[in-house]
Structure 1
Amino acid sequence: MNLKKLFELQRQLDERIEQEHPRQDGEDRLEKKILALAVEVGELANETRCFKFWSVKPPSEQAVILEEYADVLRFGLSIGLDILDEMYLDFFPFHWDNITRQFIEIFARIGELGFVIKTGGKRWIKYEYEQLMRLIFGLAPLLGFTWEQVMDAYLRKNAINYERQDSGVY
């Protein structure tokens, strides 16, 4: 999967956000993005209800889950723009045999990435980011989505994010 278009769209949105909301002195925006990614992954897991063995309520509609997935992708791409000297334009998705395990592994990689950004060298940062993105992209088919659906959802969500910047309502 070629991500050149997505990275470019995300770069433009990030620049817009940076212009509208300049960094404060001492602010670690990358750290905030990593936490935001973890939160978005949690929101996505919650919509799938894949871990809620105690409940009979079904998962949210696929459209809701797809929009949450687009939020996850947005922060994954944004983090990549911040930490990599050159963009990986191709990732090979990896997925476990079940969605619950996939979410657990994504959370673990988010934690590892946050750790190596603070302590590790560029090689480890690049490695952890690649592994995280492989898991994020591997999640899509487990959720029942094609790459075309993911692209469409990202483009729709990107437009919504611009509308939110225009209106000042987030």
Structure 2
Amino acid sequence: MSEVYTLKQLYEMQKELDVRIIKEKGLEGVDLLPNTVLALQVEVGELANEWRGFKHWSNDQSPRTKKIHSDRDAYLETNPLLEEYVDCLHFNLSLYRQLNLNISNYLHEDLSGDLTGLTEAFIHAFDWASKIYWATTTKRPSMAEKSLYRLTDVLLTIAKLLGFTRDQIAEAYIAKNKTNHDRQTNGY
């Protein structure tokens, strides 16, 4: 992928998808933040499950980075770990829209030096997502904003720790965004 995509560009794609879903599903005026926080937490769990590094009880702790799909006469290779990461990013970006926060104000802080590893990063992702929810229910917008920024820091740090490049993330994000639009067109 020749163009380097910014979070703002990916956010604009997510915003367009969100607006479409809200309109087509008749969700105008509905508080979707609790569902989005939970969806993000589910995706973080699915990402951790594909990573497998926390499964101390298993001899198979290798990340799931390759899956072969049969599509008519061709075989397609996908990266389930990257796909789950991108699902997390979709919901993370959706939260910016729901909280009316300008993603251009976000300044990334790399947390990889502050974390003991991916297990801790996943736990922090769950924690910061929960804090977003509780801050909104208790009407503390500055805490919700701080929590979303920290969640984004954690997710970007997870990407770094998993070895994903910006191009890989953007390419997978764009492909999944197209899939999500196709799903809406086909009555998902």
User: TM-score scaled to structure 2, two decimals?
Assistant: 0.83
The answer on 1:94 being equivalent to 2:111 is yes
Alpha-carbon distance in 2 for matches of 1:90, 1:2? 12
Q: Does the 8 Å contact 1:2/1:89 carry over to 2?
A: no
Counterpart of 1:128 in structure 2 is 147
Q: How does 1:76-155 map to 2 (within 5 A)?
A: 76-88=92-104, 90-92=106-108, 93-95=110-112, 96-155=115-174
Q: Does the 8 Å contact 2:96/2:102 carry over to 1?
A: no
Alpha-carbon distance in 1 for matches of 2:116, 2:164? 16
Tell me the number of residue pairs that the alignment of Structure 1 and Structure 2 aligns.
168
Which of 21, 26, 41 is 2:25 aligned to?
Answer: 21
Runs of 4+ in 1 over 3 A off after TM superposition: 88-91
Which of 83, 95, 102 is 1:67 aligned to?
Answer: 83
The answer on 1:46 being equivalent to 2:49 is yes
Aligned-CA RMSD value: 1.8
Alpha-carbon distance in 1 for matches of 2:183, 2:43? 17
| Unaligned runs of at least 5 residues, structure 1 | none
| Unaligned runs of at least 5 residues, structure 2 | 67-78
Higher helix share: 1
- Look up the SS of the partner of 1:141 in the other structure: helix
Amino acid at match of 1:165: Q
Which of 9, 16, 27 is 1:12 aligned to?
Answer: 16
Based on CA coordinates, which of the two structures has the bigger radius of gyration?
2
Share of identical aligned residues, percent? Answer: 36
Amino acid at match of 1:80: Y
Q: Which moved more, 1:35-44 or 1:117-126?
A: 117-126
Q: CA deviation at 1:89?
A: 5.2
User: TM-score scaled to structure 1, two decimals?
Assistant: 0.91
Alpha-carbon distance in 1 for matches of 2:58, 2:183? 34
Alpha-carbon distance in 2 for matches of 1:149, 1:115? 33
Q: Does the 8 Å contact 1:102/1:139 carry over to 2?
A: yes
Pair 76,6 (structure 1): closer, same or farther in 2 beyond 3 Å: same
Higher strand share: 2
Which of 160, 165, 170 is 2:184 aligned to?
Answer: 165
